[in-house]
Structure 1
């Protein structure tokens, strides 16, 4: 049976789609899974010395155990999100989190590099699309006025999970051995996956009059409605005709060039210029990441409040945050600061460097048709990863070879200035893109647990 009636509030975009209690339960569950997503992904980093010693692996092999997850996630993100949009976001998340949790647990039973590599690839397959689908779900269940706040908190879970993964891996390995670490961090995710069955979804929204609320599988078999190719063409054509989304994606990617450069090369910078050991430099970098996670949440709240009456003002506010990020890091790495004063300024920059994440995802949800929000969020994720996260570390390395690491870290934050300009451009089309989907009505899907009970009774 349904937990709540299919809501009379469903048509109001500035109210909870479901009850407030159910919405916050959905957020808590989605946040928890995001946390363990990144714990499971990053736990292996602190286990490298143990694995290298026992299996005599090269650094290239060790690195591939991390890279394989990003590769699989990048390849499968959009297809998985597309299926989730047309079938069910909750069911998709349950399946994804179950797969990656079981795959993480299976890592503790591997006997060689090949087996561990394959298990890590399956972890990536499970994580594929989770961030996009989870963001689309909570963005739709919550009022528009709270989107940046809840999405900022959601993405802060990734930073917290990354830090916890590194810390827990080392602690658990010291107590019970490195293989036990995979089992310890994998079990909680599996429990959360089962509890996610109690989260409410929203009904799949028809994309066109000819495309009813059915899955892609049904669309393929029912050619009289529309072919799969036609559906895909319509979806990506619609996304391409949403300029706010495209400009905001590019702006976000430019900001993440700065962020990824700092987080990737800060341990090396502290080692070379502050004479820290690698372990100490890693702990100091973890502090910067934690501060950035706090920044994601707080700036999401601030931007939501300041732009409550005029939502398009979120974009110039993001522009200001990008400029501040650039100025702080350029001064920190290129100015006269040294020692503790320099590190404190870097930490302060960390407070701003990921401030856009929750807000930019909320903006994407504002302008994307509700029937393809997971897909739109996946497009955002692909652009942020390929044009931002992948560029920062590599470009900094190239510039470091030419000019030195400190000079490279001084120059790369100029990308945040470019991000600021792109956010201003995106503001020009925001209102028109929001108006284009303003008449789309949303309703609550029946409780998944109700269907399960009905099936069992039958």
Structure 2
């Protein structure tokens, strides 16, 4: 790459285009997750599933190959073209999203969700590494927040548009309608984005030596305690955040007795607004404060949001008012999301350029294992458990299957199965948010050594 090419990749116009296109990738990344959450109740009824099975589809099925492939793809992104990896990833997960609309049973849907996880495993490491080579240290958290603004747009798009399509034509049509445009975005990434030199914005010298091996990366992790605590804290926060996001539409539909399209739209609004506020305030706010003299503010800000969020969520899950519940869910979600943008920026800032994709891949793996792998599965199991103990009778026999649906349709008063299911998901979510206190402690521990663990040119392995 010659000097003119490098100047083009660092030009304001190219950078704006880069942020816009990579944000569009994030839109479809999060739209897939939101559409499943919005239509989960409809899928459950159509395929006769339990909440545990819903949790597996939104959790373990998605997380299995995501976690398995995340680190190898992260290592590949240190050597191969990250733009091609990103393009191939969105094409794969979008095709598998569309395939979800063609399945006929739980096992087939499980396999499609595994395929979605395979595609999405490549997106975050490649994106974060590309951001690190286009923008300087004091801008990375802010730029990542702009890229991740695609997530609230995607959440709103997947939940609201998917919910309306599902309400009119069924959940299968919604998955197909969402998957096809993602393939088009993948082709655009392949045609438009160019691969930058590693360490371009850090002015590191051009080198043809291979990137540091995995043992060198592990040594860096052991040496930088702040990095270890940031990755662990972000991963634990993902447990609670994913549990809430994947079961929020189910909670809204059951608690407030909403049709799927209204429940999906309300979920989309809550997710979109809270994600936007949390990402912007957390990233730009902590970047601004860190620029005033103390680089520990990203960790402090993340810890503060995680400490406050559980109390607000407990109020949100306890109220019977739709308006108050909606407002508190937005406020609590915004506090929770204060951690996400700064976490991405801190990982980038503590690693040398040719380790950044691996660092983000490790975070993505742990975030996926704790968040998508364990979070929704645990909440689904806990929801079934709480529903069973609150129900007077055999919940599984009386509340699942065609006979249960027929019996419910003949009731003149409140459906005891619906009451038990609403109680179950509410109690499960109230239990899950306690993990945020542990995540906050991790970020506070990270702040103790962060000032000496930030990367400076010349620190290469």
Report if TM-score (shorter chain) is over 0.5: yes
Distance 1:268 1:90, change over 3 A: closer
Who is 1:431 aligned against? 451
Residue 248 of structure 1 deviates from its aligned partner by 0.9
Residue 362 of structure 1 deviates from its aligned partner by 0.4
Task: Please tell me whether residue 125 in structure 1 is matched to residue 106 in structure 2.
Answer: no
Who is 2:337 aligned against? 354
Aligned length: 411
C-alpha distance in 2, partners of 1:51/1:420? 35
Who is 1:380 aligned against? 363
Q: Alignment partner of 1:263: what SS?
A: helix
Who is 1:276 aligned against? 257
C-alpha distance in 2, partners of 1:126/1:250? 23
C-alpha distance in 2, partners of 1:179/1:25? 33
C-alpha distance in 1, partners of 2:176/2:242? 29
Who is 2:220 aligned against? 238
C-alpha distance in 2, partners of 1:410/1:72? 29
Residue 171 of structure 1 deviates from its aligned partner by 3.7
Q: Please, what TM-score do these two structures have when normalized by structure 2?
A: 0.75
Q: How does 1:166-181 map to 2 (within 5 A)?
A: 166-172=159-165, 180-181=173-174
Q: How does 1:137-216 map to 2 (within 5 A)?
A: 137-172=130-165, 180-197=173-190, 198-204=192-198, 213=208
Who is 1:38 aligned against? 30
Who is 2:76 aligned against? 83
Residue 431 of structure 1 deviates from its aligned partner by 2.0
Q: Is the Cα contact below 8 Å between 2:142 and 2:341 reproduced in 1?
A: yes
Who is 2:5 aligned against? 5
Show structure 1 runs of 5+ residues with no match: 8-15, 217-229, 442-458
C-alpha distance in 2, partners of 1:154/1:282? 24
C-alpha distance in 2, partners of 1:249/1:82? 17
Who is 1:11 aligned against? none
Distance 1:423 1:95, change over 3 A: same
Residue 240 of structure 1 deviates from its aligned partner by 3.1
Q: Please, what TM-score do these two structures have when normalized by structure 1?
A: 0.75
Q: Is the Cα contact below 8 Å between 1:83 and 1:215 reproduced in 2?
A: no
Q: Alignment partner of 2:454: what SS?
A: helix
C-alpha distance in 2, partners of 1:66/1:415? 19
Task: Please tell me whether residue 301 in structure 1 is matched to residue 284 in structure 2.
Answer: yes
C-alpha distance in 2, partners of 1:276/1:383? 35
C-alpha distance in 1, partners of 2:172/2:428? 38
Residue 262 of structure 1 deviates from its aligned partner by 3.5
Q: Alignment partner of 1:372: what SS?
A: helix
Residue 40 of structure 1 deviates from its aligned partner by 3.8
Residue 192 of structure 1 deviates from its aligned partner by 2.0
Q: Is the Cα contact below 8 Å between 1:239 and 1:245 reproduced in 2?
A: yes
Q: Alignment partner of 2:331: what SS?
A: helix
Deviates more, 1:287-296 or 1:174-183: 174-183
C-alpha distance in 2, partners of 1:408/1:104? 28
C-alpha distance in 1, partners of 2:95/2:119? 9
Distance 1:97 1:268, change over 3 A: closer
Deviates more, 1:411-420 or 1:136-145: 411-420
Q: Is the Cα contact below 8 Å between 2:313 and 2:329 reproduced in 1?
A: yes
C-alpha distance in 1, partners of 2:36/2:250? 20
Who is 1:420 aligned against? 440
C-alpha distance in 1, partners of 2:167/2:267? 22
Distance 1:113 1:32, change over 3 A: same
C-alpha distance in 2, partners of 1:34/1:159? 9
C-alpha distance in 2, partners of 1:413/1:116? 28
Deviates more, 1:194-203 or 1:371-380: 194-203
Distance 1:268 1:176, change over 3 A: closer
Q: Is the Cα contact below 8 Å between 1:331 and 1:410 reproduced in 2?
A: no
Q: Is the Cα contact below 8 Å between 1:364 and 1:376 reproduced in 2?
A: yes
Q: Is the Cα contact below 8 Å between 1:78 and 1:129 reproduced in 2?
A: no
C-alpha distance in 1, partners of 2:288/2:432? 31
Two-structure CA RMSD over aligned residues (Å): 3.8
Q: Is the Cα contact below 8 Å between 1:172 and 1:181 reproduced in 2?
A: yes
Distance 1:110 1:329, change over 3 A: closer
Distance 1:303 1:79, change over 3 A: same
Q: Is the Cα contact below 8 Å between 1:330 and 1:411 reproduced in 2?
A: no
Who is 2:12 aligned against? 20
Who is 1:312 aligned against? 296
Distance 1:269 1:145, change over 3 A: same
C-alpha offsets along residues 276-326 of structure 1, whole Å, 9 cap, x if unaligned? Answer: 336355543333212221123321222221222332222222222222223
C-alpha distance in 2, partners of 1:343/1:46? 16
C-alpha distance in 1, partners of 2:32/2:256? 31
Deviates more, 1:32-41 or 1:75-84: 32-41
Residue 106 of structure 1 deviates from its aligned partner by 5.1
Who is 2:64 aligned against? 71
Distance 1:107 1:5, change over 3 A: same
Q: Is the Cα contact below 8 Å between 1:152 and 1:296 reproduced in 2?
A: no
Who is 1:325 aligned against? 309
Q: Alignment partner of 1:356: what SS?
A: helix
